[in-house]
Chains A and B, each alone.
Chain A
Amino acid sequence: MTDARIPAAYMQPGISSFSDFLSEQAPDLLPARRSLPAGSAADLAPHGTTIVAATFPGGLVMAGDRRATMGNVIAQRDIEKVFPADEYSVVGIAGTAGLAVEMVRLFQVELEHYEKIEGSILSLDGKANRLSALIRANLGMAMQGLAVVPMFAGFDLDLGIGRIFGYDVTGGRHEERHFFTVGSGSLFARGAMKKLYREDLSETECVTLAVQALYDAADDDSATGGPDLTRRIFPVVWVVTVDGGRKLSDEDVAEIADLVVAGRMQRPDGPNAPLLSRGEESR
């Protein structure tokens, strides 16, 4: 006779992590628990590319381009790579798109699950550490070419500032104070951010900075998509402040992207930074 009641494990108090619960009750649902045959799977699935993030007083901005590639082919023009993790944090993904989206879904449930079971929100460092664990569990797949390298950022309610965390494939995390980039175009985006970033940017200026950096990444990296003027596809931009995270509307991003493109019509390499820093360090 089968028992219709809820299984005893569900009633057991003590575990507030959803992924720990899954690993006991339904391990096949965990993205990292699948075994792959030997060999590289890198060319089998679409890859997402560049994500940038920067902080401004009172919050942070995270933006991602819209291209997914499979070898030399553009797999998708309008993929979204920046997602809300909970009300006060966002996560951007680079690497194997399918696995990364699944990891983000697990991460979102993980944070919400903790919040509901414990009745309080995890600290920002706690959230960043949980993401580390999820990435580390994926190391086996990363070694077969299916790497996922997210970037996490959120508003720290205790400190009152925006914070950015970068990761490597082994789950190692490091905090960036001002800005950070990941993905294939990240080197070019980082170069642009180095020259343009200031600590006193307003929210709109910070969004403009992100769009400029993505433009530079798309300029030199074939896997990063620039603003698509004919189809009106522009980067996905999230802003997180003390009021929580919100996605900028397509119109708002389009307005900023149009200004950036108009500037590039005059000077294709983008705004000039001065050769020598004036007075004290600007950053």
Chain B
Amino acid sequence: MSMPFYVSPEQLMKDRADFARKGIARGRSLVAVQYADGVLFVTENPSRALHKVSEIYDRIAFAAVGRYNEFENLRIAGVRLADMRGYSYDRRDVTGRGLANAYAQTLGTIFSSGGEKPYEVEILVAEVGSNSDEDQIYRLTYEGRVADEHGYAAMGGDAETVATYLGEHYTDGSSLDAALAVAVAALGHATEGGETTDRVIPVGDLEVAVLDRTRSQPRKFARIMPARLDALLGDRGPTEHAPAEHDRIEADTPSLDAPSPDAPQDSGEPPVAPPP
């Protein structure tokens, strides 16, 4: 008869946390930044089809890093929860806080249940209010911890470096192009062995979306397509793709349909929510 080895609960949780953290750290970073008219999301994602930032409801958006199939399931669950609630009560009764709670419970239960692999994801749930004081950004970790973020939030691969950069350069109530410039610069900022490098990320490798409270429709979510992105970012000098060792998760893989840097920018994707 074989005797199982004794593993202390502390060790068990630590192993699970290490496992999840490692998975998340292999993907690229994602940032959310508050600006004058709402919340801006920016991540490096060459795929035009597999999104890391998406719409959940009128004023609520979802952003995630980590394993694509896992956060996609969470996204779909969020859309269903929100639509179900909005349909049975009223559209105003769907809140980011409620959604963040549901995600926290789910991630927490999965993390501490012995039979399941912990999710290798980190997610952001953001909601825009009628002014920037009412904007909310919740950051959820793989073990179901919720943090209420103000101003900016970063997660994924080099989250700490990116967050430090944002902390030094972020200003409250900036315009969309200023916020975008800071966010993109933060993603291109890297520290290796005490040396910092700044990379200019090509427009085609960026996935950018906003929750814009000035949008006339009730649905405030809009993707910013490469053509508009180019105009917003202006001239930034020579660009550089991300180093290849970062590519692991599906959404990060430089897919076949990703435009090459010198190909004409593609903005022909059917607008899920057309830019205003």
Q: Report which residue of B55, B79, B81, B219 has the largest number of chain A beta carbons within 10 angstroms of its beta carbon.
A: B79
- In the complex, are the beta carbons of A6 and B102 less than 8 A apart? yes
Shortest Cβ distance from B103 into A: residue: A6
Given A25-B84, A87-B217, A119-B272, A6-B106 contact (CB < 8 Å): yes
Asked whether any CB of chain A lies closer than 8 Å to the CB of B270, the reply is yes
Cβ–Cβ contact A5 & B73, under 8 A: no
Q: Note all chain B residues with C-beta closer than 8 A to A11.
A: 73-74, 76-77
State which size class the interface on B falls in: 20 to 34
Interface flag for B150 (CB, 8 Å) = no
| Residues 1 to 56 of chain A near chain B (Cβ within 8 Å) | 3-6, 10-11, 13, 18, 21-22, 25-26, 29
Q: In the bound complex, how far is the Cα of B221 from the Cα of A55, in angstroms?
A: 30
Q: Which residues of A contact B (CB under 8 A)?
A: 3-6, 10-11, 13, 18, 21-22, 25-26, 29, 87, 105-106, 109, 112-113, 115-117, 119-121, 157, 244
B36-63: CB near A (< 8 Å → 1, else 0) gives: 0000000000000101001110000000
Find chain B residues with CB under 8 A from A5 CB.
Answer: 105-106, 108-110
B188 at the binding interface (Cβ < 8 Å): no
Q: Is B230 an interface residue (CB 8 A)?
A: no
Judging by beta carbons under 8 Å apart, are A116 and B55 in contact?
Answer: yes
Residues A109 and B83 in contact, CB atoms below 8 Å apart: yes
Task: Compute how far the CA of A113 lies from the CA of B54 in the bound complex, rounded to whole angstroms.
Answer: 13
Shortest CB distance A154–B (Å): 15
Give chain B residues whose Cβ lies under 8 Å from the Cβ of A10.
Answer: 76-77, 80-81
Task: Identify the interface centre among B87, B106, B109: most chain A CB within 10 Å of its CB.
Answer: B87
Tell me whether B254 is interfacial, beta carbon within 8 Å. no
Q: Within 8 Å CB of A105, what residues of B?
A: 87
Within 8 Å CB of A109, what residues of B? 83, 86-87
Q: Please pick, from B49, B83, B109, the residue contacting A113 in the complex, using a CB distance under 8 A.
A: B83
Known: A5-B109, A29-B87. A116 touches B56 (CB 8 A): yes
- B88–A18 touching, CB < 8 Å: no
Q: Which residues of chain B are near A6, meaning CB under 8 Å? A: 77, 81, 102-103, 105-106
Contact A26 B73 (CB under 8 A): no
A–B pairs, 23, beta carbons within 8 Å: A4-B106, A4-B109, A5-B109, A5-B110, A6-B106, A11-B74, A11-B76, A11-B77, A18-B83, A18-B87, A22-B84, A29-B87, A29-B88, A109-B86, A112-B83, A113-B79, A113-B83, A116-B56, A116-B79, A117-B76, A119-B49, A119-B272, A244-B274
Partner of B73, one of A13, A18, A25, A116: A13
Q: What residues on B are CB-neighbors of A116 within 8 Å?
A: 54-56, 79, 83, 272
Question: Which of A4, A113, A115 contacts B272 (CB under 8 A)?
Answer: A115
Kindly state the separation between the CA atoms of A263 and B275 in the bound complex, as whole angstroms. Answer: 42
| Distance A117 CA – B49 CA, assembled complex (angstroms) | 12
B149 on the A face (CB < 8 A): no
B77 contacts A121, CB within 8 Å?
no
Which residues on the B side are within 8 Å of A21 (C-beta)?
80, 84
Top 6 nearest A-B pairs (CB, nearest first) are: A4-B105, A5-B106, A10-B77, A5-B109, A11-B73, A6-B106
Q: Give the distance in Å from the alpha carbon of A93 to the alpha carbon of B91 in the complex.
A: 21
Contact A120 B105 (CB under 8 A): no
Taking the closest CB of chain B, its distance from the CB of A251, in whole angstroms, is: 18
Complex Cα spacing A259 to B208, Å? 48
Q: Are B76 and A119 in contact (CB under 8 A)?
A: no
CB distance from A62 to the nearest CB of B (A): 19
Inter-subunit contact A120/B270 (CB<8 Å): yes
Q: Are B272 and A121 in contact (CB under 8 A)?
A: yes
Inter-chain CA distance A105–B51, complex, in Å, is 28
In angstroms, Cα B273 to Cα A116, docked, is 9
Give B77-119 as 1s and 0s: 1 = Cβ < 8 Å from A's Cβ atoms: 1011101101110000000000000110110111000000000
Bound-state Cα–Cα, A120 to B273, Å: 9
Of the candidates A26, A113, A157, the one having the most CB atoms from chain B within 10 angstroms of its own CB is: A113
Q: Which chain B residue shows the least CB distance to A21?
A: B80
Docked CA distance A40–B86 (Å) = 32
